[in-house]
Amino acid sequence: MQVSFSDRPYLQSAVFAALVLFVVTAVAFIWVAHVYYRKKLSGLPGGNELYLECAYFSEIGKRPSQQDSVFISSLDDYRKYGITALVADGMGGMRYGGEIAQKVADFVEGMCPMSFFATEQNADILRSFSNELYEEYKLQGGSTLALVNISGNYMNYYSVGDSDIILIRDGTPTILNPRQNYMTLLIKSLCRNNKTTQTAYTNAKAKALIDFMGNQDPKVIYTRKPIRIFDGDKIIVSSDGLTDAVSLRHMKHYIKDSASVTATLLKRAVAGRKRPKQDNYTAIVFSVKRGYL
Amino acid sequence: MIENYILMHKGGLDEYRDNIFVNYSSSLTMAMLYLPSESDFSVADEAAVAALVNSSSKMRFIDLSESVYPLLTDLKNYMLIRINDKNITIERHGRVYAYIVQNGELKMLPNGVTSIDDKDRVICCTAEFLRDLNEIAILSDAVISDSAEEWMDHLVCRISDANRLAQGNLTAVTMIVRSGD
């Protein structure tokens, strides 16, 4: 007995529905597979997680040698461990500044992957390393430390000395870490005495560091709780060679969506200043973006 | 316990005109008065507010609020605060502000009761204090500070960088909740 579609109209509808279902399922499967492999290949987080674009520069300026050091952990490990980035600025005019800055960068590399939540322990480890440097160099050199550790939607930071960690949100740059120089002590003292602070800024020793890597038991500034970061934020970790040349007020003119474009513009801006005593200038630029899933 | 540090700095003016009255008991009760140059406030009313706050340890917050209201109506810029290690109650009028650090963000406290946890950080301040600060700066200084005093010192340095502490009166209180102490 032969059965034709015309004899069984419901069979025709059933076959059509099955065909549509097959096509929809196949398209959905291909789309999910495509997104999964793209994500796996790129290492980007999905859902509401953020991901980072990163770029950096390190220039010698008008100095005879490069005394800044940089370390950036692998972006391949970002989803698992987050990212760690460091700028260490060897103290100018001291014999072993550049050497100590490189040792600080090497040491931080050895600390990775850095525990995101054990900030107090991480600060203790950095302090102990500074004591080792003190024993080795006996204050014949030192280095700053500006370090960020970003995981998911949060950032911790560590700081010793006067390098800068800058967060740019809604176009407004803010230096996060306080500088550890003599000026802060003067300001504190004047404030306690209910005075204004003009004299602190004219003091010849105001910019002298009171803490640095290589000092004995330096105060390591660190976040007790992480700072939330958002889509669109930019984070710049830099030596003072950048912020001395490009003021915070003018920095916003060079901030673009792309980390590499921002880094290029900042580097050109410093070079364009043509300062005769331009210090080494180094910066790591992060652009925070939302995952595309 | 609520660890706190109070800043009352005259800034670049000849005298300190703002005021803070504090009652330290099981809860910390505070009245913060902000008197920009156009404001005026009688010495007698100020003394009356001080007396009320001093005797407020067993007074309900709403009763304190109703008692000081007639004295402060013309002032326009003031805040009442009561904080213990479980919650904070505020009532703010005009250009005085309170913020709390939560989940890596700085959030403005609304009028009323807000629950707080151990190690939470709270700042109450006048508009003049805030003028050269932004929320990211306040947040960052809060999370790196071991004490309320250290937090305030960092903020003062930022204000100093902007205006050398040479503008109006600077009035603020930084607080850290210490539940275990």
DSSP class per residue in B4-42: EEEEEE-TTSSS---EEEEEESSSEEEEEE---TT----
Q: pLDDT tens across B127-177, in order?
A: 999 999 999 999 999 999 999 999 999 999 999 999 999 999 999 999 999
The verdict on A223 touching B (C-beta cutoff 8 Å) is yes
pLDDT tens string B154-163: 999 999 999 9
Residue B10: closest CA among chain A residues belongs to which residue? A194
Mean pLDDT of all residues in chain A?
A: 90
Q: % helix / strand / coil in chain A, to the nearest 5?
A: 40, 25, 35
- Tell whether the model's pLDDT for residue A192 goes beyond 90: yes
Q: CA end-to-end span of chain A, whole Å?
A: 53
Distance CA B75, CA B29 (A): 19
**pTM for this entry:** 0.88
Report the pLDDT value the prediction gives residue A38, as an integer from 0 to 100.
Answer: 59
Distance from the B60 Cα atom to the nearest Cα atom in chain A, whole angstroms: 34
**CA A13, CA A8: separation in Å to the nearest integer?**
9
Taking contacts as CB-CB distances below 8 angstroms, the residues of chain A near B140 are 167, 174, 176-177, 223, 227
**Taking the domain A50-290, which CATH number applies?**
3.60.40.10
- Cα–Cα distance measured from residue B176 to residue A49, given in angstroms and rounded to the nearest whole number: 31
Place of tokens 């009688």: B42
How far apart are the CA of B91 and the nearest CA of chain A, in angstroms? 28
Of A154, A184, A194, the CB nearest to B10: A194
Question: DSSP class of residue A181?
Answer: B
- pLDDT for residue A43: 45
The pLDDT value recorded for residue A4 is: 60
pLDDT computed for residue A213 by the predictor: 97
Shortest Cα distance from A218 to chain B (angstroms)? 15
Exposed/middle/buried for A123, CB within 10 Å: 0-12, 13-18, 19+? buried
Provide mean pLDDT across the span A131-152: 96
The pLDDT of residue A212: 96
pLDDT at residue B4 greater than cutoff 90 = yes
Task: List C-alpha distances in Å: B79 to A49, A224, A262.
Answer: 39, 29, 43
Nearest-10 crossing angle of helices A182-192, B148-163:
100
pLDDT above 80 (res A105): yes
Q: From the CB of residue A118, how many other CB atoms can be counted at a distance below 10 Å?
A: 12
pLDDT of amino acid A45: 47
Q: Is the pLDDT of residue B73 over 70?
A: yes
Mean pLDDT, range B105-117, rounded to an integer: 96
Measured in whole angstroms, the distance separating CA B141 from the mean position of its chain's CA atoms is: 17
Query: How many A-B residue pairs are in contact by the CB < 8 A criterion?
Result: 75
| CB contact (8 A) between residue A221 and residue B144 | yes
pLDDT of B65 higher than 70: yes
Determine whether the interchain pair A196/B12 forms a contact, defined as Cβ–Cβ distance below 8 Å.
yes
What's the pLDDT at A75?
80
Chain A residues touching B165 at Cβ < 8 A: 190-191, 195-197
pLDDT range class, residue A42, cuts 50, 70, 90 = very low
Q: What residues pair up with B105 in beta bridges, in sequence order?
A: B102
| Residues of A whose CB is below 8 A from B156 | 187-188, 191
Q: What is the pLDDT of residue A78?
A: 82
Do residues A53 and A260 touch, judged by C-beta distance below 8 A?
Answer: yes
Pairing of strands A172-175, A145-151: unpaired
Determine which of A154, A188, A248 to mutate to test the interface with B (most B C-beta atoms within 10 Å). Answer: A188
Nearest CA in chain A to B16: A194
Which of A174, A195, A196 lies nearest to residue B134, judging by beta carbons?
A174
Asked whether the ipTM of the predicted complex exceeds the cut of 0.90, the reply is yes
Contact criterion met (CB < 8 Å) for B164 and A198: yes
What's the pLDDT score for residue A16? 85
pLDDT confidence band for A39 (50 / 70 / 90) = low
Of A93 and A210, the one with more pLDDT = A210
Q: How confident is the model at residue A79 (pLDDT cuts 50, 70, 90)?
A: confident
When mean pLDDT is compared across A10-14, A269-273, B38-42, the lowest value belongs to B38-42
Query: What single-letter DSSP state applies at residue A107?
Result: H
**Regarding the domain delimited by B2-177, which CATH topology (the fold level of the hierarchy) does it fall under?**
Phosphatase 2c; domain 1 (3.60.40)
Other C-beta atoms closer than 10 Å to the C-beta of A227 total 26
Inter-chain residue contact A167 with B143, CB threshold 8 Å: no
Smallest Cα distance from B141 to chain A, Å = 7
Q: Does residue A225 have a pLDDT over 50?
A: yes
When the pLDDT of each residue in chain B is averaged and rounded to a whole number, the result is 93
* Chain A environment of B150 (Cβ under 8 Å): none
